[in-house]
Chain A
Amino acid sequence: MNFPTKIVDTDILVVGGGMAGCGAVFEAKYWCRNKCKVTLVEKANLEKSGAVGMGLSAVNTGTFTADPDDPKPEDFVEYVRNDLLGIAREDLVYDVARHMTSTIKLFDEWGLPLWRDPKTGKYIRTGRWQIPVHGESYKAIIAEPCRKSADEVYERVVVTHPLLDESRPNRIAGVVGFNVRDGTFYVFKAKAVIVAAGGTSLLYRPRSVGEGLGRAWYPTWASGSGLAIPILAGAETVNMEFRLIVIRFKDGYGPVGYPYLLLKMRSTDVRGRQWEPLPEEAKAELAKIFYDYAYAKPTPTPIRTWVTIQNLKEGRGPDLMQTQEKLPDMESFRLLFEDYLDMTPSQALCWASQNIHPQKTPSELMPTEPYVQGSHASSSGMWASGPPDIAPPEYRWGPNRMLTVEGLFGAGDVVGASGHKFSSGSFTEGRIAGKAAARYVLTTAKDYTPTISNDTIERYKEIVYRPLEWYHKNKPLTTTPEMPPQLTNWFEVHPNYLNWYQLLVRLQKIMDEYAAGWGMFYTTNTYLLNRGWELLHMLEEDFRYAAAASLHELLRVWEFYHRLIVGQAVVYSMMNRRESRGYYLNADYPYIDEENWHVFTHVRRDPRTGQWSFRTSPVIHIIP
């Protein structure tokens, strides 16, 4: 167990090479030139990593221009504010929108096949913001300028813990991690750290729990590291209770954007009543729970999701996408298949294996398990400082997109209360954070040198590899036969340790049953949340008995730990928000309470004591 230690000194460290991370590297290097060094660390292979690693069939946040036909940033703010049920950081949303055109033009120049109108040459829009793309290689294309821009790229290195400065309070100094192939222990020291390590899947029990555990809508490698690393550093979260649940094709988890927006399909319950697009007469009933947001146009995603959940719960479900009504020819059929093959191949494979021909039969829709991330139709994430020229003073305590820890920035899924960034907006936010970090290291933090003692480095090295040591020390005690190298024995029974799979399944069960997962029809109450909180605490205590047979399992163990930290932040936020706003029902407070709870919620974990605290802060609307 004697792995070498490698220390990397840099100016700007970007953690995670997905869309936001690539945007951060590109923009930071543009402004740094030869004056500061930009380093990227990524746990997988840059070309196919991050949530877009499977491909994607649209840039869902497109261009905003002076052209009268194009939307303006104000329009986008209005839409996002309604979709997030009023609780949005309008300064952050506006900031992303006003920089979108340059991002899309760069994508176009780099070679992303955006769809154009052959007559006008303008990008085609399927909705108000979305531009369809032939996106099988979306991430591979974006990775190319990113790799060219970075001074150094460390792939196959997973970051496990943040390092705080030992001479200044609340100041990030770097991170630690290890190489999943050769086991080298990495210590990165930096003047600024941009965390862009993605949101959280598999925190809640997914719909398939056997071999298909990994078939979630949000990819399995989104292990919550982007949220857990800042939380472990003591940064504040925002709206962690506002987890994302989306309606997707059953089992394959194929998205529904193309069918609804491009092919104009509709969905019904099993008795044939249409629910999407949502009929006007259904809105009065929904307004009893969702207040005036039920009348917003378009209907906010949490409300549309709630309709499908209710249909399922009351026996009218599952909702059915009436694909056969809108696939009159081979051309539309090809469009539908390409959509999935380019971004969620499982959906096409699911149809093929179940003999579902979408031109003949409808397909079932299901609400997913909850995800925790800030780039889609939800607002959970970290609390970030806003743009200096727009943000109200309360939202401005440091450089743009700096979190509440000095020198620690976020982008993409990491930054909360500003959803609907999607892939292209996450890249844009990475760019915004990249420029802010470059300005920061060239001015404010010019003379800063990280203080990290050798004792700290050795202590973290011991912590990081402990699951490996623990496994090999205790292995002889079990009578379960050994598995071939790299394979996890999911059902190994051992008195002294738990493997990553056993830990993960316990976490998923707690989150599902106590914190409003699909198994409870997204419903919880104060009793359940308090009990879930206790069980999570015991799970954290048991983590000291985590075991890893190989470096691959060690990666999975630390991914589990990041999910556990995110789960605690979610449950603690849900315990404290005394209303139901978001994709769940707290049966003790079953309605939106505008008067008392039109606020942001924040939780913080004290990095010294591990104690959690909660506060709220007011929502300041700045765009009429």
Chain B
Amino acid sequence: MQYDTKTRRAYNADPVSCAECLNCVKYCPEHAVDVRTYADFAPLGMRLGVIRDTKRNIIYWRIMYRDGTIYEFASPIRTTPWGSARGALDIPPREDLDSELLAMEDNPEYLGFPELPRPRQTIRVVGSLMRYKQTVESLKSG
């Protein structure tokens, strides 16, 4: 989106690069962005309304089909207040720079395992699927 200082209006300056992510529509505080979807394949007449409420953390959609049918949808967007997420420095430090464990993984609940998983059994087969299968079969037969 570019802002034209003469008309004091914004416009889509590069439509061929537009992925129709609708972020300009969702984020405009005045709800002033209208959408006409791609000329290549979209017949005219569809209308869209969207309100992304970051206080109640719900997004509301209203879609009108070319034939006039209207559907309305609402779905949650976040379970915590905006600004509340912990950054790296808000998490207690650890000294094990040499281990393969990442942040929070000293806690088995976060890791999902009592300790960092390593392959239960390892093999070394170089190359084709046939050779791999033969090796696995011989392992199974003991």
Contacts and interface: CB of A to CB of B under 8 A. Distances in A.
Nearest to A147: B87
Given A101-B111, A431-B103, A432-B102, A349 B91 contact: no
Contact of A431 (B21, B37, B102, B125): B102
Nearest to B107: A102
Is chain B's interface secondary structure helix, strand, loop, or mixed overall? Answer: loop
Given A112-B79, A214-B18, A219-B21, A98 B116 contact: yes
Contact of A212 (B38, B43, B82, B113): B38
Interface in A66-106: 66-67, 70, 72-74, 86, 94, 98-102, 105-106
A622 B69 CA distance: 56
A31 B45 CA distance: 54
A102 B85 contact: no
A277 interface: no
B102 A27 contact: yes
Interface residues of A, number: 105
A40 interface: no
Interface stretch (A312-320, A386-394, A411-419, A455-463): A386-394
Contacts of A73: 117, 119
A212 B117 CA distance: 46
Contacts of B141: none
Given A214-B19, A353-B46, A552 B65 contact: no
A624 B75 contact: no
A622 B84 CA distance: 42
Interface residues of B, number: 88
B66 interface: yes
B30 interface: no
Contacts of A595: 128
A42 interface: no
B118 interface: yes
Contacts, number: 284
A352 B42 CA distance: 9
Contact of A435 (B86, B102, B125, B132): B102
Contacts of B16: 210-211, 213-214, 490, 501
A442 B109 CA distance: 29
Given A101-B112, A110-B85, A136 B77 contact: yes
Interface string B3-28: 01000000001111111111100010
A208 B70 CA distance: 27
B65 A352 contact: yes
B56 to A, nearest CB: 13
A215 B79 CA distance: 31
Contacts of B120: 74
6 contacts: A220-B19, A293-B129, A337-B63, A341-B61, A622-B122, A624-B121
Question: Sorted from nearest, which 6 A-B pairs have the closest CB atoms?
Answer: A148-B87, A101-B112, A111-B80, A65-B112, A212-B40, A212-B38
Interface of B: 2, 4, 13-23, 27, 35, 37-46, 48, 52, 59, 61, 63-67, 69, 71, 73, 75-91, 93, 97-98, 100, 102-105, 109-114, 116-130, 132-133, 135-136, 139
